[in-house]
Structure 1
Amino acid sequence: MPRTALLVIDMLNTYTHEDAEALVPSVREALPGIATLLRNAGACDSPVVYVNDNFGEWRSHHGEILKAALDGRHRDLVEPVAPDDSALFVVKARHSIFFETPLAYLLGQLKVERVVLCGQVTEQCVLYSALDAHIRHFDVVVAADAVAHIDADLAAAALRMMRTNMSATVCLADEVAFDTRQPQ
């Protein structure tokens, strides 16, 4: 099996944005799947990379972003999936986790060939990230029960697009296998 990394997208969130109230119920539903992926990736020593918006605070580092999210309106949505000390962190500015970030370089250094995407928002950041992973020749897996959406219809269409147009494997979190082999 190729070296696999779990990519956790935008889960450190203050939930103060315009679409927050529409998103929150779906995040609650996705939390168990994300927790399963985090647990299984950790058990196999697979890399876990949090890729997160910086809320427009260009002087922020990951500790400040995590603190802002934990101090936000929905600490209960952040705390269960907060990064541990072994997690890696990449800050992004816009939708795709690859757009003008060092993520592709980091994954190359880790000898990752397969990425598992989870987090938010299915029809936005997850979709654009899946496309960018696909065009960079990563095998893409999306855990459908570990992604949150604002619009259920658009999210369903996005998952179909990822499966059809990007050759992504769309499955449930407990069906995702992580590699136990260390990179050479």
Structure 2
Amino acid sequence: MPRQPTIVGNPVLLVIDIQASAFMPVKAGIPTMPGYRAAMERACALIAECRRLNVPTIYFQEAHRRDMIDYGRELDGTETIHCMEGEPGTPLADAQTGRRESDYFIRKRRYSCFFGTELEILLKGLKAQTLIMVGGMTDVCVHYTFADAHQHDYHCRVAVDAVGGTSPEAHAASLAAMEYLQTGANLSADEVVAALAARAARAA
């Protein structure tokens, strides 16, 4: 197959789990790589550019009930209690991301943004073809969302400097795995903005 264009058809930005904890000194339950906060700040800048270019944006929040009934197997590995409802780090970082009440929002109980959510219905309504992903974690929620989106036949793009993982090694390995699935998936935030701006200019 020839390499696909950066933006195919209608793009949608997926803002994955940029929660208050990303901007707090202690991130309970999940390790983060050095530079994680800086990556989230670049993601926020990209969100603003997408808004300027009229790209639909969907915000996701991982959140778990306080009785822990919906953690499933999430606590079997390295992660401890995280994203629990009522904790200060769990709400979305609205002040940093600029999220508005009118923006699309989906709460999820699992890593993938597709699993057990209304995302597929929303994407069909938006006639989405290219999904651009920012947020965290590269090797967990971003990676699993990418894999599900790939299997739903979306064109997937990841702003590599606007996502952050649990470690540099896990971050790099997941980016490589996503690029393996779709050549050209890995882009800088600047490359994403340039491609979106070129699309907007063509449509003007």
Q: TM-score range by the shorter chain?
A: 0.7 to 0.9
1:140 Cα deviation (Å)? 0.3
1:16 Cα deviation (Å)? 5.1
Structure (1/2) with the larger helix percentage: 1
Would you identify which runs of 4 or more consecutive aligned residues in structure 1 move more than 3 Å? 13-16, 71-75
Find out whether 1:33 has 2:49 as its counterpart.
no
**Aligned residue type for 2:163:** V
Which residue in 2 is equivalent to 1:144? Answer: 160
Q: Compute the TM-score of the two structures, normalised by the length of structure 2.
A: 0.73
Count the aligned residue pairs.
170
Partners in 1 of 2:191 and 2:159 — Cα distance?
A: 8
Instruction: Flag structure 2 segments of 5+ consecutive residues without an equivalent.
Output: 1-7, 68-82
1:129 Cα deviation (Å)? 0.4
Deviations 1:82-138 (A, max 9, x none): 412342101111110001111011011011111000101001110000000000111
Partners in 1 of 2:54 and 2:166 — Cα distance?
A: 32
Residues 72 and 129 of structure 1: is their aligned pair in 2 closer, same or farther, counting only changes over 3 Å?
closer
Residues 152 and 133 of structure 1: is their aligned pair in 2 closer, same or farther, counting only changes over 3 Å?
same
Which residue in 2 is equivalent to 1:118? Answer: 134
Match of 1:3 among 5, 10, 14: 10
Which residue in 2 is equivalent to 1:48? Answer: 57
Of the structure 1 ranges 81-90 and 33-42, higher mean CA displacement relative to structure 2 is found in 81-90
Alpha-carbon RMSD across the aligned residues, in angstroms, is 2.8
Residues 26 and 68 of structure 1: is their aligned pair in 2 closer, same or farther, counting only changes over 3 Å?
farther
Instruction: Flag structure 1 segments of 5+ consecutive residues without an equivalent.
Output: 59-64
Find out whether 1:173 has 2:189 as its counterpart.
yes
**Aligned residue type for 1:18:** G
**Aligned residue type for 1:50:** Y
1:49 Cα deviation (Å)? 0.3
Match of 1:100 among 107, 111, 116: 116
* Structure with max Cα Rg: 2
Residues 5 and 36 of structure 1: is their aligned pair in 2 closer, same or farther, counting only changes over 3 Å?
same
Residues 81 and 68 of structure 1: is their aligned pair in 2 closer, same or farther, counting only changes over 3 Å?
farther
Q: CA contact under 8 A between 1:36 and 1:174: conserved in structure 2? A: no
Deviations 1:24-74 (A, max 9, x none): 74331212321222111101111110011123269xxxxxx9x967x4499
Partners in 1 of 2:119 and 2:91 — Cα distance?
A: 27
Which residue in 2 is equivalent to 1:17? Answer: 28
Partners in 1 of 2:164 and 2:100 — Cα distance?
A: 21
Q: Compute the TM-score of the two structures, normalised by the length of structure 1.
A: 0.80
Residues 166 and 17 of structure 1: is their aligned pair in 2 closer, same or farther, counting only changes over 3 Å?
farther
